[in-house]
Structure 1
Amino acid sequence: MSATGTQPTVEEAVAAAALPRRFGALYVAEHRLRAMRAYGWTIVIGSVGNPLLYLLGIGLGLAAFLDQPVASGPHGTVDYVVFVAPALLATAAVSVASEEFTYAVMEGFKWRKTFWGVNASPVSPAQVAEGQVIAVGARMLFTTVVYAALALALGGVTSVSAALVLPFVGLLTGMAFGLPLMAYAAGLKDDSGQFAMVQRFVFTPMFLFSGTFYPITTLPGWLQWIGWVSPLWHGSELGRAVSYGTTAPGWQVALHVLVLLAVAGGGWVLARRAFVRRLRG
């Protein structure tokens, strides 16, 4: 009904739909962020507790048992906690992606069907996908900013400038892992353990064999390929280059950026297409 209590005219209906059509992705992102408030303390505690446990445990615990340096930069060897901090930060972003781009996507399509409700409004299917990505990106940035701040305070990052850049490296890494996963989740009709398999057979091996805790060159040759194809390895190496520099040639650093951008971009194209196909089909 219009403001006068009568049936709205076509012009009024079009005007009312203009704002959602223009800013639909932001409305969807706002809805998703509000939904995250239901487990907001879990997000906060995890974002603060995980880096504290890892960085203190590694910096004050595991590092004490290492009798030789594991890595070096252009200015010489670096402490072990400095070596692992960028990789742990990137892992935190990937962990957020593994949560928010799996069950939350299935929830929107199958369990609560919120995507279908939004799709009945002037918001387009592509904007539904965009809103999800914006909201998850905001959570990733929150997590990685906290991680970088704590790493700076605990000596895992040695400069303020590096701490300012590392969250965006983590964001790119998380999206490179998460957007293809989002495309996969959007195509599933039922959860028959697929997400648990992704966690067990994709995320866990990637975490263990992507040079997170030791240089990938220390692995047997037949295992190193896991790191080469892993967004986490590329993100970790890029983060280390930002944090304390690298002795690798510039083209290798550029390659890490290009791989992450390519995987994230390809995943976004597939995810957007999956949302559009499903909500319009």
Structure 2
Amino acid sequence: MTELSTASPDARVAIAGAVKPRRFGAWYVAEHRFRVMRSYLQTVLMTAFGYPLLYLFAMGIGLGSLVSHNLGDEGVDGVSYLAFVAPALLCTAAVTIASEEFTYPVMLGFKWNPTFYGMNAAPIAPGQIIDGIVISVVARLLAASIIYYAVMLLFGAVPLPTGFLAIPVAVLGGLAFGVPVMAYVATLEQDTGQLAMLMRFVLLPMTLFSGTFFPLSSMPPFLQWIGWISPLWHSTELARVFTYGSPEPIWLTITHVLYLSALFVGFWMWTRRIAARRLNK
């Protein structure tokens, strides 16, 4: 208090101006990310509206008609193939969006255009930078999932009124995959192909072997473990419980929630520590 009273007028102004950034730093970072998203707004809108229309029509209607012709209208898990695959496509879209927002923008802030260092030089802590990124991605995931769910309703792919709960499930699933990816990217000093390999050898196999387009039980036992550790499988199975009442024991439903939450929260806290160590050295 004595130091503040003896400080110069300019110093007092600077200290007073730093109060709000210290308190709401994460929201300032999120606002920055929203403004950056405007530079690729067309891509954001195309993926938000184009993905559900394209994939639901191609997989749910196109491939679904072949599945129904061979197995009947309720041949997959007791429902139509459209109802079976729709929540999986919703969760896959969320994971894909999260993989986009938690890779190159994070690498950009740390390395290519090191804005994170500028933010850290201001009264914004490294943890707030990570929090702001997470807030911005949650907002995009939520908006995209709502649009995707609305298209699912138009296609008649949600038999139960509890289907809207698939929206937060998809968001949580996207975060459970994306935040660990962010933690990994935050440790990279150079991108020599790691991000491309991440998409090719992690995201793509996870999409194919997580019970998205066919039940996990139909896969060979030596491949089913990929689904068991995959955030996409857990979010997809949980979304199916809400959209059409997929039969599963309550302990498994609780496991889905706990597993996804643990991945999200655990790696979020870890990324905050990585950012603090990297930006303050």
Task: Indicate whether the TM-score tops 0.5.
Answer: yes
CA contact (8 A) 2:60 2:85 kept: no
CA contact (8 A) 1:70 1:214 kept: no
Alignment-mate amino acid for residue 217 of structure 2:
T
CA contact (8 A) 1:152 1:160 kept: no
Who is 2:25 aligned against? 24
CA contact (8 A) 2:21 2:124 kept: yes
Percent identity of the aligned residues?
50
Secondary structure, counterpart of 1:119 in structure 2: helix
Deviations 1:173-201 (A, max 9, x none): 00100111001001100100001111111
Structure 2 counterparts to residues 1-281 of structure 1, below 5 A: 8-66=9-67, 67-68=70-71, 69-72=74-77, 77-163=78-164, 165-281=165-281
Find the aligned partners of 2:188 and 2:223 in 1 and give their Cα distance.
30
CA contact (8 A) 1:88 1:212 kept: yes
Alignment-mate amino acid for residue 138 of structure 1:
A
- Once structures 1 and 2 are overlaid, which stretch shifts more, 243-252 or 180-189? 243-252
Find the aligned partners of 1:243 and 1:166 in 2 and give their Cα distance.
7
Alignment-mate amino acid for residue 76 of structure 2:
A
Find the aligned partners of 1:114 and 1:32 in 2 and give their Cα distance.
11
Deviations 1:126-159 (A, max 9, x none): 1000000100111111111110010011111234
CA contact (8 A) 1:152 1:159 kept: no
Instruction: Report deviation, 1:70.
Output: 4.5
Deviations 1:31-89 (A, max 9, x none): 001100000011101111111011111232111111114433xxxx2111111111111
Alignment-mate amino acid for residue 12 of structure 1:
V
Find the aligned partners of 2:114 and 2:197 in 1 and give their Cα distance.
24
Secondary structure, counterpart of 1:211 in structure 2: coil
Q: Root-mean-square deviation (CA), in Å?
A: 1.4
Instruction: Report deviation, 1:161.
Output: 3.8
Find the aligned partners of 2:40 and 2:14 in 1 and give their Cα distance.
37
Q: Which runs of 5+ in 1 are unaligned?
A: 1-6
Instruction: Report deviation, 1:12.
Output: 3.2
Q: What TM-score results when the alignment is normalised by the length of structure 2?
A: 0.93
Who is 1:3 aligned against? none
Secondary structure, counterpart of 2:123 in structure 1: coil
Deviations 1:217-271 (A, max 9, x none): 0000111000000000000000000111132111110111011011111111211
CA contact (8 A) 2:110 2:116 kept: yes
CA contact (8 A) 2:180 2:264 kept: yes
Secondary structure, counterpart of 1:107 in structure 2: helix
Secondary structure, counterpart of 1:122 in structure 2: coil
Find the aligned partners of 2:58 and 2:47 in 1 and give their Cα distance.
16
Secondary structure, counterpart of 2:9 in structure 1: coil
**Distance 1:107-1:70 versus aligned 2 partners, 3 A rule:** farther
Runs of 4 or more, structure 1, over 6 Å off, are none
Find the aligned partners of 1:56 and 1:102 in 2 and give their Cα distance.
29
CA contact (8 A) 2:210 2:226 kept: yes
Who is 2:3 aligned against? none
